[in-house]
Amino acid sequence: MPRYLIERTFPEGLNIPINDEGKGVCFDVVDRNAEGGVTWVHSYVSGDKQKTFCIYDAPTPEAVRTAAQKNGLPVDHITEVSVLDPYFYA
């Protein structure tokens, strides 16, 4: 399955509480994504919490956009990526 890097901007900052409410928010995203065959692998959040860089597995970029729309999440850019691991050559 293709892997994508999704860049998102949150002008007010991304504020997911670190408690059961935040856990519920994240699992709701996972459940909605699954409806379209999209898997959230992990995300990186900038220090000011205004940007995220998310790794997703999905059949197509359109599936990522559809899942984002269902979750009320912005999408600035979608880039298909592959892993470059320095240990691959060891």
pLDDT at 9: 98
Q: Where are the domains of the chain?
A: 3-89
To the question of domain 3-89 being in CATH 3.30.70.3090, the answer is: yes
pLDDT at 85: 86
Global pTM value: 0.90
CA dihedral 15, 17, 23, 28 (to 10 degrees): -40
Q: What is the DSSP letter of 18?
A: S
The span from the CA of 57 to the CA of 3, in Å, is 4
Instruction: Report the 10 Å Cβ neighbour count for 33.
Output: 22
pLDDT at 89: 77
pLDDT at 43: 97
pLDDT at 8: 98
Per-block average pLDDT, block size 10, for the chain (90 residues)?
Answer: 97 93 95 97 97 98 98 98 86
